[in-house]
Amino acid sequence: MTARQPRRVLIVDDSAVVRTMLAESLAAEDDFEVVGAAADPFIARDLILQHEPHVITLDLEMPRMDGLTFLRRLMAHHPLPVIVVSSLTRSGSAASVEALRAGAIDVIPKPGGPYTVSQVAERLKTAIRAARAGTFRFDRATVPVDVAPARPARRRLRGVLAIGASTGGTRATEALLTRLPADCPPIVIVQHMPAGFTRAYAERLDASCPMRVVEAQDGTPLRRGQALVAPGDFHMVVEATGVKLRVSVRQGPPVHHQRPSVDVLFHSLARLHGVPVVACLLTGMGADGADGLLALRMQGAQTIVQDEHSCVVFGMPREAIRRGAAGRVVSLLGMPAAIVEAFEALDVRAPSTVQARAC
């Protein structure tokens, strides 16, 4: 049997220290081969043609051409899996969110502040291996420009919409939310993203989506027409206080190596009694969300999973399907309509006290 060839990685960063740190960390693994390190996009362009890397790590603040411009040109002419390694400054976080929308598969913080060199290296290795897997795809079919808007609901929808996503999910979630009505039921979102980036992501969604989108804080109430994004490095759970729902934001051990974890959010909703829930599991690597989605389905929730063709990484959805957690498997194109249909199916059975709690 022929051994699998190492994944060729090109590092693009203007900092010699960062280039060395990343190269040494990756070179220690048998399944990676660092084929080059570039200080700017012009050097990177030549190395791409010379070495044909499988994956690129990309800084965004570089001389001669910024990383975001380079990424957009790369995706237009020579698309490759790109992992952004970015600073935690406000401008860096905003640019990183734009990079995800432009086609980057993940964003990882640079060492410093809350993240050590070893933590950054381990997260980078995981992201590169996800790009290596056969479930990874990057083509124009994954760009959600043609997602159909949800049809008008026959009645005022009530309940809670929960969304979990990882790699590729920033764009998928945005495509989904922009096609839902402004007067939608409360939405809670877990997107695997490091601390420091989720606020910029929520602000980006708030600017493009019809409903209000904010980064969740401990005790934030669930409100109609509002979506809450779990803050990076914190789990988010939904709790009932009387007839009202609010989120609790807390730390605790990572689940499936993730904090926030989709499973933590989904299991918290499964513990609520009488609250109509529609839960969607979107593109992402690993198994986070599959157990929680199954628990929700067992409690009578409507569960929807993104199909393989429209996923960037068909990891989390595949695991949910394997465990019997998916009530429906639909494309990103059909997700908004499927959500409205799921709420309508639940709304007929929702007691009035629960309706008040979930609004």
DSSP secondary structure letters along 70-123 = HHHHHHHHS---EEEEE--SHHHHHHHHHHHHHT-SEEEEPSBTTB-HHHHHHH
CA–CA dist 57, 33 (Å, integer):
13
Tell how strand 7-12 and strand 55-58 pair up: parallel
3-state secondary structure of 213: strand
Residue 225: Cβ within 10 Å count: 15
Residue 77: Cβ within 10 Å count: 8
Q: Tell me how many degrees the CA angle 130-131-137 measures, rounded to the nearest 5.
A: 115
User: Do the Cβ atoms of 86 and 108 come closer than 8 Å?
Assistant: yes
**The token pair that represents 57 in the structure block:** 């790590």
Phi–psi pair at 139, nearest 5 degrees: -155, 180
Residue type, 176: L
CA–CA dist 244, 161 (Å, integer):
15
Sorted by sequence, the CB contacts under 8 Å of residue 207 that are 6+ apart come out as none
Q: How far is CA 157 from the centre of its chain?
A: 25
Residue 331: Cβ within 10 Å count: 17
Using alpha carbons only, how large is the chain's radius of gyration in Å?
A: 20
Sorted by sequence, the CB contacts under 8 Å of residue 135 that are 6+ apart come out as 285, 308, 311, 313, 314, 315, 318
Phi–psi pair at 241, nearest 5 degrees: -125, 100
Residue 2: Cβ within 10 Å count: 4
Active site (catalytic) residues: 166, 192, 288
